[in-house]
């Protein structure tokens, strides 16, 4: 099988995330894409992240009706800091003979070298990167650099530039602005019902 993995804080999940995952699924003829909220994102320790159960519920609502998207609590279920290499190691044990594709945003591609055990990450999965908000030549240079240094398998997804950010959505909600068409209506309803981002 071909299995996509898209992790993230998803605070909240939005159409940019969903389009990236769908593009990867379609482009690589995947069997499914695991949508996986991060448990304790160490790189966002300076910002209060919404409760695990709220982020999980928003993901579940967002992917309802898409049979090839699958919610995964693999990272939420682990205690302490969550590292991508640990997640991929567990998935490799679960899917020993399948192809794993880690789906990331272009900004992530410039951070991965500083992640915990980057060489193992590149050994465990192929990397599919969006080209959001970045010059293609700059992205290609970074891909070439990672290929040479880590023998990484990286592909540019060449997806439309969907300039939506979770930070912007939280800010709009806080100031009483509309976030319609930024994320699914079911997720918007949940945000308002739970009073998320209002303070």
Structural domain spans, the chain:
2-163
Q: Tell me the pLDDT tens digit for each residue of 49-88.
A: 899 999 999 999 999 999 999 999 999 998 877 899 999 9
Instruction: Tell me: pLDDT of 92 over 80.
Output: yes
End-to-end CA, the chain:
44
If we measure between CA atoms, which residue out of 78, 73, 3 comes closest to residue 36? 73
If we measure between CA atoms, which residue out of 142, 151, 10 comes closest to residue 71? 10
Instruction: Tell me: pLDDT of 43 over 60.
Output: no
Angle, vertex CA 142, rays to CA 89 and CA 86, nearest 5? 10
Question: Hey, is 134 helix, strand or coil?
Answer: coil
> What is the rounded distance in angstroms from the CA atom of residue 155 to the CA atom of residue 173?
35
Q: Tell me the pLDDT tens digit for each residue of 110-139.
A: 999 999 999 999 999 999 998 776 788 899
Instruction: Tell me: pLDDT of 40 over 70.
Output: no
**pLDDT value of position 42:** 53
Specify the DSSP element, H or E, that contains 194: helix 185-194
Class of domain 2-163: alpha beta
Instruction: Tell me: pLDDT of 41 over 70.
Output: no
According to DSSP, the β-strands at 99-104 and 126-129 are parallel
Q: Tell me the pLDDT tens digit for each residue of 138-197.
A: 999 999 999 999 999 999 998 877 889 999 999 999 999 999 999 999 999 999 999 999
Question: Hey, is 8 helix, strand or coil?
Answer: strand
């Amino acid at each position: 099988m071909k299995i996509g993995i898209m992790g993230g804080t998803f605070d909240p999940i939005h159409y940019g995330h969903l389009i990236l995952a769908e593009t990867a699924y379609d482009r690589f003829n995947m069997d499914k894409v695991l949508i996986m909220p991060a448990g304790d994102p160490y790189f966002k320790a300076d910002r209060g992240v919404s409760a695990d159960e709220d982020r999980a519920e928003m993901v579940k609502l967002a992917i309802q009706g898409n049979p090839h998207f699958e919610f995964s609590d693999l990272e939420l279920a682990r205690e302490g800091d969550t590292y991508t290499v640990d997640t991929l190691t567990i998935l490799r044990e679960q899917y020993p003979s399948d192809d794993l594709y880690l789906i990331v945003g272009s900004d992530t591609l410039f951070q991965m070298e500083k992640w915990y055990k980057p060489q193992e990450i590149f050994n465990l999965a192929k990397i599919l990167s969006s080209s959001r908000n970045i010059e293609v030549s700059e992205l290609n240079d970074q891909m070439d650099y990672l290929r040479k240094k880590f023998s990484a398998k990286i592909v540019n997804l060449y997806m439309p530039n969907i300039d939506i950010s979770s930070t912007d959505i939280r800010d709009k909600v806080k100031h009483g602005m509309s976030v319609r068409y930024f994320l699914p209506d079911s997720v918007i309803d949940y945000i308002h019902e739970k009073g998320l981002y209002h303070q």
